[in-house]
Chains A and B, each alone.
Chain A
């Protein structure tokens, strides 16, 4: 039996020390997820708090048929999406002007960029766009799954993702250009 399994079973028995250990294991990762969805750090903290309370509340339903991290990460994501929907800040309007431009064929490599810098770029996306970008590009959801999750059409999910991608590529290109100019 793995340590994590023992820890989870102790959490099912409501053992506070085990809950604390599990929290320590995943708090950082899950906070990064929450921060990625919420523009405000206080909101992200609220999401993390709610999500962990839900994880401990429903941990007895965890069947060990998938990695615990994936199971609880999904709770964090759902909590963040609910928080966004509650605040009614997710707009999915398509700005026709922004979508008329073709996506650039080349994209900037981000592997050497700092996480904080990338997080700022994600935060600059419109909120609806931001959630869809997170779900599709980072979480790996399909567009029809996102549509179900957010109660929107698959087409809206696709168009919002395109918009997010285009905006990010544009910003990355700007940064790249600025860096080149500085070097010269």
Chain B
């Protein structure tokens, strides 16, 4: 064996091992194949992917929201003092305990350990070699006080101390070593602040754990204020309520058809924009069925900026500005006809603009109109933060949004593009929506955070002015994503 210079050390080892081969166990492929087969069997769950994207998206968002809500509702702190009192009260009448001895405040939990004299007193009482608990009322009253914030522990203690709880007799004698160990443990954990463990731990049982200080420090450090970009996509449900619009169309069409024989109606052929009345006379001939004005679900997207400020350790306020566009194709067979200009408009357009040609309604074949709404929205919402990991938070958000209506664009193959806004139609300038959502925030850098989650928005008032019998209350429930910068 010879020696060589040190700088070849890594190269030698690399050369020796980089193409090394060791025969694997003979059953290895069978094991891998079994794993692969098992994964295949699990695929039925993912058959959901066969569904339309917005359905699976909606299901996912619903699940997230429901789980988030469930967690929030179940995350309320249990009144441990009540439990302790209940246990003690039901256990023995002979053990006289004052409820005031059992408190949940952090001070009262830590109190017995704060000063040496008190601790010594307790230790002495607890350690007493054969002391019966029944004879030492003060010791008993101290013990639940020590454990008021650790339910399971408290229960265990009381069960040990009160050997025959139903009969109300205290017959057992305390094992001094056992109590000493408990006192030691309590001394260690008392200074910590206890909270429920995060979601996955409490789905089936409540379990207490103390917060790791580092999480709190990180949270305070990283999340004082932030500004970010946000975007989102979702299905757009217009929630259009007809409000007698079809009846009005039907009545107007019947009246118009009866009064003007030249304009008995049929569907307008493609390419006819109604530039002169003689063309229109040729175009319209036979009156057809009942009016249809159906607003279908479409898609929405939004983007904007948001800024937030931490109010308390867990609660933050957030606002910003977002542009929202939602489309909702309209199936309609009702049009209005301007006899002077030959102009044809969708009936709903003239209804919203209260055009005088509204009475010249005609019912033709169903046509799909492109229909989109644009808003500038200012969300005002609170976010409740639940730390999951050091850099990962779950946030549940809720609030209101002030929605400034920008415009509604309507267009069919046979009519011109119509742009309706609050100035020329029955649309409100300002609407209000309710907001809710669940999202995950991941701190991928010291200052930068990725945000993804589900968001729900529902118009609380109709987009149409109160005088209008028809109503439009758009609803969006989809996925939002963005990036925040903390400062």
Instruction: List residues of A whose CB falls within 8 A of some B CB.
Output: 16, 19-20, 23, 27-32, 35-36, 45, 48-49, 52-53, 56-57, 103-113, 115, 118, 136-138, 140, 165, 169, 175-176, 179-180
Contacts and interface: CB of A to CB of B under 8 A. Distances in A.
Contact of A32 (B3, B21, B25, B28): B21
Contact of B24 (A27, A53, A180): A27
Contacts of A113: 1, 16
B467 interface: no
B17 interface: yes
Interface in B16-35: 16-25, 28-29, 31-33, 35
A110 B12 CA distance: 7
A32 B18 CA distance: 9
Given A56-B36, A108-B1, A137-B14, A29 B20 contact: yes
Given A49-B32, A110-B12, A32 B20 contact: yes
Nearest to A49: B31
B337 to A, nearest CB: 57
A138 B18 contact: yes
Contacts of B22: 28, 31-32, 35
Contact of A23 (B17, B21, B29): B29
Given A57-B39, A103-B6, A106-B6, A29 B14 contact: no
Given A45-B25, A49-B28, A138-B14, A109 B39 contact: no
Interface residues of B, number: 31
Contact of B23 (A23, A31, A179): A31
Give 5 closest A-B pairs by Cβ, nearest first.
A28-B21, A31-B24, A32-B20, A32-B22, A137-B10
Given A118-B16, A137-B13, A48 B39 contact: no
A164 to B, nearest CB: 10
- The CB with the most chain B CB atoms within 10 A, among A53, A136, A180, is that of A53
Contacts of A137: 9-10, 13-14
Contacts of B33: 16, 20
21 contacts: A16-B33, A19-B36, A23-B32, A28-B24, A31-B22, A31-B23, A106-B6, A107-B8, A108-B1, A109-B4, A109-B12, A110-B13, A111-B12, A136-B10, A137-B9, A137-B10, A137-B13, A138-B14, A138-B18, A169-B9, A176-B3
B15 interface: yes
Given A106-B6, A108-B3, A115 B24 contact: no
A28 B23 contact: yes
A30 B31 CA distance: 16
Contacts of A115: 16-17, 20
Contacts of B17: 32, 36, 115, 118, 138
A45 B24 contact: yes
Given A45-B25, A108-B4, 18 more contacts: A19-B36, A20-B33, A28-B24, A31-B21, A31-B24, A32-B17, A32-B21, A49-B32, A104-B6, A106-B3, A106-B5, A107-B5, A109-B3, A138-B18, A140-B14, A165-B9, A176-B3, A180-B1
- The CB with the most chain B CB atoms within 10 A, among A16, A23, A49, is that of A49
Contacts of A32: 17, 20-22
B1 A107 contact: no
Interface in B428-478: none
Instruction: Tell me if A's interface is mostly helix, strand, loop or mixed.
Output: helix
A7 B25 CA distance: 23
Nearest to A103: B6
Contacts of A169: 9
Contacts of A108: 1-4
Contacts of A56: 32, 36
Contacts of A53: 32, 35-36, 39
Nearest to A176: B1
Contacts of A180: 1
A27 B14 CA distance: 19
Nearest to A51: B32
A22 to B, nearest CB: 11
Contacts of A176: 1, 3
A105 B33 CA distance: 50
Contact of A48 (B15, B24, B36): B24
A177 to B, nearest CB: 10
Nearest to B6: A107
A29 B4 contact: no
B28 A27 contact: yes
A138 B39 contact: no
Contacts of B9: 107, 137, 165, 169
A136 B20 CA distance: 17
A19 B30 CA distance: 12
Contacts of B1: 108-109, 112-113, 175-176, 179-180
A135 B375 CA distance: 55
Contact of A105 (B6, B15, B31): B6
Contacts of B6: 103-107
Interface string B27-53: 011011101100100000000000000
Contacts of B8: 107
Contacts of A179: 1
Contacts of A165: 9
Given A103-B6, A105-B6, A48 B28 contact: yes
A145 to B, nearest CB: 15
Contacts of B18: 138
